[in-house]
A and B are shown apart, each in its own frame.
Chain A
Amino acid sequence: MTAPDASASGVSAREVPALACPVPLPPGDAVLLGHGSGGKLTADLIRTVFVPAFGGAELARLGDAAVVELDGVRLAFTTDGFVVTPRFFPGSDIGALSVNGTVNDLAMMGATPLFLSAGLILEEGLPMQDLGRVVASMAEACRAAGVRLVTGDTKVVERGGADGLYVTTAGIGLVPRGVEVGPERARPGDAVLVSGPIGSHGVAVMSRRAGIEFDGALRSDSAPLSGVARAMLGAGDLRAMRDATRGGVASVLNEIAEASGVGITTDESAFPILDPVRAACEMLGLDPMYVANEGVCVAVVASGDAEAVLAAARSDPMGASAAIVGSVEEGRGVRVRTGLGGTRPLVMLAGDQLPRIC
C-alpha cells in the first residue's frame, strides 16, 4: 500500500504553515469547570477550539459518535473520559459508567457496539481493592452490553496528580445497512420520546457528594441503551437518538432542535421522573431537565410510527417507563408547557446547575 499523497490536497507536508496561533481562543484566561458541564460553555469550547483545529466533516457533525465508511462498511467510533467523584455511588461506579457511556454513544448512532479500549490513569496510593472493584464492574458491564474490551493502557501519576482514578474508553460499533439516524434529521410533526425516568444519575451522585442519602432511594441509572435502541430502530422511522448525559434532556433537545433547524415543544408533566429524584431536586433547587442521566435517551420518531416505537421501547427493560413527551414543530428553540398552562423556553444552561442558597 502506498502512502497517501499529501500534494493531492494541494498542500505538501513541508508547506504546512507554522502553528503561530491557529486557534481562536474563547474569552477568559483559564479553563473553568463550566467548560466541562456539557452546556453552552462546552459547546463554545468545541466550536471555537476543537472543530477549527481538526476540521473534517465527521467531527463537525458533533454526533455522540463519528460514523466513518471503510470499504462499504459503516463504523461508529467514539471516545469518552470519566472523572466522576465519588468513584462509587449508589447504583453504579466509574467502571460501569465508562463502559456504558461509550456503548451508549455508539448505540445512539444506530450502531451495534462491538469493541472497546480502555485507558486507566491511576494515582499513586490508590487502594488496590478499589482498582479491583472498578475493573470487575467494567467487565460485568461489558458482558451485559455484549461488547468485548480488546485493548488498553495503564499509567500511574504521582500522588496528587489525579483524583484516584480516571478512565478513558473508546469504542467501535457496526452501523447496519439502511440505518440513518442523526440529530439533523428531525422534521416538523415528529414525536419526541424519552426512554426512561430522568435525573436519577446526577441526583444520585450529587446527593452522595452532599451527604444527603434519602434512605438509599436515589440510584444512578447507568446502563447500556443498546437494547432499547435496537428495539426502537426496528419498530419505525427513528430520525434521531441522543443519550441525555451532561446537561440533561434539556441540552439534548436543544442540540436536536438546533441541528435540524426546528422547534420542539414538550410537556413538563409528561416526563417520567421518580418521586425521590423529584424530591431531591426540589430540596437542592435543581431542574431535573438539566440533570445528567447515564441510561436515558431522547428519540425523535416520525409521527405515524410513534406508538409502535414507544411500544418497542417499553418491551426492553431499559425502556419500561418510556413516554412521548412532546413534538417537533416549525420554528426554533425548545419550549416546555408548565403545569399551570403557561409555556417557557427550555434554554441551554451556561454551565453546571448550582444548588441554591435558600
Chain B
Amino acid sequence: MKFVDEYRDAHIARGILADIGRTVTRPWTIMEVCGGQTHTLIRQGIDQLLPPEVEMVHGPGCPVCVTPLSIIDRAVSIAKRPDAILCSFGDMLRVPGSSEDLFMARAAGGDVRVVYSPLDALEVAKANPDRTVVFFAVGFETTAPANAMAVRQARLQDVENFTLLVAHVLVPPAMLAILSAPGNRVQAFLAPGHVCTVMGWTEYEPITEAFRVPIVVTGFEPLDLLEGIHMTVRQLEEGRAEVENQYVRSVVREGNAAAMRVVAEVFEPCDRAWRGLGPIPNSGLRLTEAYRAHDAEVRFPEVVEEVPESELCIAGMVLQGRAKPHDCPAFGTECTPEHPLGAPMVSTEGACAAYFLAGRRREAVTS
C-alpha cells in the first residue's frame, strides 16, 4: 500500500540496523518521546533487533497515560449529569479514574459518546441545544489546533452549549523535567514527529544547548524510527548535540503557522499536573480569558476529591524512562489491560500495554 509499505521494507530495515551496528561503540540510552513511536518499536520488535549498546526507554508521550486522575474523575462526574453530554476520543473511555471509568459512567446512564473529531462534538452541541456538550480535550500539541478550531467555530456560530474539558499537555516542558530530575538516564531524544508537524522544532534548540543532548525529530513508521535512532547514535558518537530532522516529509523548522495561530488565540500555557510525573510548570494549556465561557470546569465547578494513585503502580518511573514496564511488581498480574492500575496499561500507546500485548514478561528480559 502506497505511503505505508515503503516505510516498512524489511530489506532496508536490515541495512539501517547494520549501519547502526557499525556506528555504535559504547552504550547509549535514547528516549522516544511519543507513545505512537513506542507502539511501533514494540509491535515490530525493533528494540530487540537493535545492537545491545542501544537502549530505548519510553517517554511520557501518551496523552491517555499522563492525564491526571482528578481530570478523569471530573469527566466521569460530568458524564453522569443528565444535563451534560460527554464526547471523547475512544481510547479515553477505558482509562481508570479513582473508582470508575467513562464506560462505567455510560453503563450507569451517562450520555458518553465517542467522536472522531472535536468538530463532531460541535455538531452534537448544535443538535442538543438544551444540554451542555463537553468535549474531553486530551492530547499534546498535535490535537490542540483542531480543539482550538472547534471552540473558535462555536464562538463564531454562537453555540453556547459547547465546552471543552481541557487536559492538554506540552512536550518540551516534560523533556526539561525528565532531564532535570535526579537519576536521569536519558542521553538523547527522538522528538515526536506529529507534535513537530504543528510546532516545528525551534523550541527544542535551547534544550540541546542547555543539556547537551541530541534531539532528532522522528516519524512513526519502522524505517522512520530506525533512521531516527541511527541519526541520534551518530550524534552521540561524534559528540554533537543538535536538533536534526528525520521526518522531512512532514516537518519544517517553523512548524504550521496557521495551526499555531489558532492555538495561541484560544489557549494559553498553564501549570499542569501529569499523571505519574506530578506538577510541571507551564506544561499545559487552558482556555484564554476570552474563551473561558467554553470551559467545562467553569460550567461544572464540581469539587473532585484528590485520590492518590495505586501504591503498586510505578507509572511515574516508567514515564520518565527510569524503569521498564515489566520491572513493576504488578505488571501482568494485578495490572493488565482488562484491569489497569495505571494509565500506561490502558492505551495501546502506553508503554505498559505495548509490553503486555507484545508478550514481554519479566523472564523475557534477562536475555
Q: Which residues of A contact B116 (CB under 8 A)?
A: 210-212, 284, 355
Q: Which residues of A contact B357 (CB under 8 A)?
A: 344-345, 347
Q: Please measure, in the bound complex, the distance between the C-alpha atom of A200 and the C-alpha atom of B118, giving whole angstroms.
A: 26
Contacting chain B: which of A5-13, A30-38, A99-107, A152-160? A30-38
Q: Is there a chain B Cβ closer than 8 Å to A177's Cβ?
A: no
Q: Is there a chain A Cβ closer than 8 Å to B177's Cβ?
A: no
Among residues 324 to 358 in chain A, which have CB atoms less than 8 Å away from a CB atom of chain B? 333, 338-345, 347, 349-351, 354-358
When the two chains form their complex, are residues A30 and B104 in contact, meaning their CB atoms are under 8 A apart?
yes
Q: Which residues of A contact B103 (CB under 8 A)?
A: 32-34
Q: How far is the CB of A8 from chain B (nearest CB, A)?
A: 42
Question: Which of B104, B107, B138 neighbours the largest number of chain A CB atoms within 10 Å of its CB?
Answer: B107
Q: Please measure, in the bound complex, the distance between the C-alpha atom of A30 and the C-alpha atom of B101, giving whole angstroms.
A: 12
Q: Is there a chain A Cβ closer than 8 Å to B194's Cβ?
A: yes
Residue of B whose beta carbon sits closest to that of A283: B116
When the two chains form their complex, are residues B142 and A342 in contact, meaning their CB atoms are under 8 A apart?
no
When the two chains form their complex, are residues B89 and A355 in contact, meaning their CB atoms are under 8 A apart?
yes
Q: Is there a chain A Cβ closer than 8 Å to B266's Cβ?
A: no
Q: Which residues of A contact B91 (CB under 8 A)?
A: 354-357
Contact of A351 among B42, B94, B143 (CB under 8 A): B94
When the two chains form their complex, are residues A358 and B142 in contact, meaning their CB atoms are under 8 A apart?
yes
Residue of B whose beta carbon sits closest to that of A212: B116
Q: Is there a chain A Cβ closer than 8 Å to B307's Cβ?
A: no
Among residues 136 to 167 in chain B, which have CB atoms less than 8 Å away from a CB atom of chain A? 138-140, 142-143
Q: Is there a chain A Cβ closer than 8 Å to B351's Cβ?
A: no
Contact bitstring A176-215, B, C-beta under 8 A = 1, else 0: 0000000000000000000000000000000000111000
Q: Is there a chain A Cβ closer than 8 Å to B363's Cβ?
A: no
Known pairs A30-B108, A356-B348, A357-B139; A340 contacts B63 (CB<8 A): no
Interface size of A by Cβ–Cβ distance < 8 Å?
A: 37
Q: Is there a chain A Cβ closer than 8 Å to B325's Cβ?
A: no
What is the interface of chain A mostly: helix, strand, loop, or mixed? loop
Q: Is there a chain A Cβ closer than 8 Å to B97's Cβ?
A: no
Q: Is there a chain B Cβ closer than 8 Å to A58's Cβ?
A: no
Number of A-B contacts (CB under 8 A): 103
Contacting chain A: which of B43-51, B236-244, B247-255, B257-265? B43-51
Q: Is there a chain B Cβ closer than 8 Å to A296's Cβ?
A: no
When the two chains form their complex, are residues B44 and A357 in contact, meaning their CB atoms are under 8 A apart?
no
Residue of B whose beta carbon sits closest to that of A345: B359
Q: Is there a chain B Cβ closer than 8 Å to A275's Cβ?
A: yes
Contact of A356 among B42, B106, B349 (CB under 8 A): B349
Q: Please measure, in the bound complex, the distance between the C-alpha atom of A344 and the C-alpha atom of B47, giving whole angstroms.
A: 13
Q: How far is the CB of B217 from chain A (nearest CB, A)?
A: 16
Residue of B whose beta carbon sits closest to that of A275: B1
Q: Is there a chain B Cβ closer than 8 Å to A282's Cβ?
A: yes
Residue of A whose beta carbon sits closest to that of B64: A357
Q: Which residues of A contact B337 (CB under 8 A)?
A: 349-350
Q: Is there a chain A Cβ closer than 8 Å to B358's Cβ?
A: yes
Q: Is there a chain A Cβ closer than 8 Å to B347's Cβ?
A: yes
Question: Which of A41, A212, A342, A358 neighbours the largest number of chain B CB atoms within 10 Å of its CB?
Answer: A358
Question: Which of B140, B336, B338 neighbours the largest number of chain A CB atoms within 10 Å of its CB?
Answer: B338
Residue of B whose beta carbon sits closest to that of A35: B107
Q: How far is the CB of B195 from chain A (nearest CB, A)?
A: 9
Among residues 278 to 292 in chain A, which have CB atoms less than 8 Å away from a CB atom of chain B? 278-279, 282, 284-285
Known pairs A40-B338, A278-B4, A354-B90; A344 contacts B139 (CB<8 A): no
Closest 10 CB pairs of A and B: A342-B45, A354-B90, A345-B359, A350-B338, A355-B90, A30-B107, A354-B91, A357-B89, A210-B116, A344-B358
- Given A30-B104, A340-B44, 14 further pairs, Cβ under 8 A: A32-B104, A34-B103, A40-B338, A41-B338, A211-B116, A285-B348, A340-B46, A341-B14, A341-B49, A342-B45, A344-B45, A354-B90, A355-B91, A356-B349
